[in-house]
Structure 1
């Protein structure tokens, strides 16, 4: 297993991550978008499984993310990605076990976040996300639901940090899920400023996209065109987020090759 260390970078690197993520996405656009749609389709299909459909997507999320990130890494290295990389998280038994254990931890973190959301809306969001109940988004409930979403997001952040780099650590470096989540969380805490700048930049991009779409809707006098345009913009941003995650991995995670054994150098005549 490689020696891994986490370095701290300036907050301004959050913008650089997005630029690097865009460059990665443009290097292999079909492969990167295909990997994302594989992730999306797999999640949608798992949701259709009776009884367990609400749990399976979160359980296998680390393994699916490991596959997507492996394709993105190939694009970043300017090598040709392969379809087999998408299932890297399921092929190796040791990695698969750790990724599934990570999925259990992710599921627990998601459950805790949804449970915390009940402080804001009395359980409406929890019922919709966990129990599959319809959510009453009537005007009188909007404020409560909005508060619940912010509470859930805040409560979910430790889990997000724990899994920012964890799937890559488990799939690429044979790291156990507990150590992988610890290193990932530690890396995010050390670079919290850059992460805030990154998400703030994404918010600006979305706002600009929304303004452009609204302008087109006003010009053509059709609200339908706004919906049609927002779908590809939203998908573009989601794919860019995945690529940006890898850019942050490149910038923050330092991989050092293990020192060679003494016996390997005993017959080396080089002084």
Structure 2
């Protein structure tokens, strides 16, 4: 396995491929994403251990969505059990994936804990759904400091785990080694990932503006509020679909994986 360097424009190609692949199997991929969200939501409801448990399962669940995307590129219909691919691959891979998940959970809880110390938990409670946003809270210096502290700590954590589940599962790398290769791959392809992020941000802005404009034209401003959540969920599903392509193009595989046409 070797790292691959890709041009900046590849970031936009990843977004395009994510959308195209999703539209090939919209029912399967959307259904799997909503299953993913349901599993995470239900797990967080478990008293005391719910949040760290959900964060522990997150890399395995993300790998399941990547495996579903891989099947979709091969013209197959991903079945629901594929979401649990990482948990059904034998004891060795299960241990490795749960170890990876535990490392992510520890990093996430540390980042959240540091933000709690900054503003007394205002940002943490809002982020985790324990409180409703208010103008006073959002504008307070303490909240904003806590928010940027969390972002600053969580961003490198996300990069370390961006490719890690795929590297653990498909390359049999140890968890720590997979995290190292993941963040190195992200930095080596910095401009492609920058374009990738900006393209998704632009897509979300266009979707929101389109719904708002459509509601105004039809004389129904409430349409934005009604349609925004399902629209964002579909875009989030496409985003997770596109993650597979960021992994596929960042590493030179000994056995090439099937790849759809980028055109």
TM-score normalized by the length of structure 2? 0.88
Give the number of the structure whose alpha-carbon radius of gyration is greater: 1
207, 221, 224: which one pairs with 2:222? 224
**Secondary structure in structure 2 of the residue aligned to 1:9:** coil
Match of 1:142 among 96, 114, 138: 138
Tell me what 2:261 maps to: none
Judge conservation of contact 1:125–1:135 (CA < 8 Å) in 2: no
Q: Please, which of 77, 80, 83 is the counterpart of residue 80 of structure 2?
A: 83
SS at match of 1:54: helix
Q: How many angstroms apart in 2 are the aligned matches of 1:127 and 1:212?
A: 31
State the Cα distance separating 1:60 from its structure 2 match. 0.8
Of stretches 107-116 and 68-77 in structure 1, the one that deviates more from structure 2 is 107-116
In the other structure, the counterpart of 2:252 is 254
CA distance in 2, matches of 1:5, 1:176: 16
Shift of 1:67: 1.2
Contact 1:114 / 1:129 at 8 angstroms: preserved in 2?
no
4+ aligned runs moved over 4 Å, structure 1: 127-130
**1:37-71: CA deviations, max 9, x gaps?**
11111111112222211221101111111111111
Query: Whole-Å Cα distance in 1 between the matches of residues 11 and 22 of structure 2?
Result: 17
Q: Distance in 2 between the 1:251 and 1:149 partners?
A: 32
Which residue in 1 is equivalent to 2:260?
none
User: When the two structures are superposed, what TM-score results if normalisation uses the length of structure 1?
Assistant: 0.85
Choose from 106, 115, 118 the match for 2:113: 115
Shift of 1:136: 6.1
Q: What is the aligned-residue RMSD (CA, Å)?
A: 2.0
Question: Would you say 1:46 and 2:54 are equivalent positions?
Answer: no
Q: Deviations over 1:2-51 (max 9, x none)?
A: xx111111111110111111121122222211211111111111122222
Q: Number of paired residues?
A: 252
Unaligned ranges ≥5, structure 1 = 258-271
Which whole-Å deviations, capped at 9, do the CAs of 1:103-148 have from their partners, x for residues lacking one? 1111122123223434764431234557x7x446332221233443
Partner of 1:267: none
Which one is further off, 114-123 or 61-70?
114-123
Q: CA deviation at 1:223?
A: 4.0
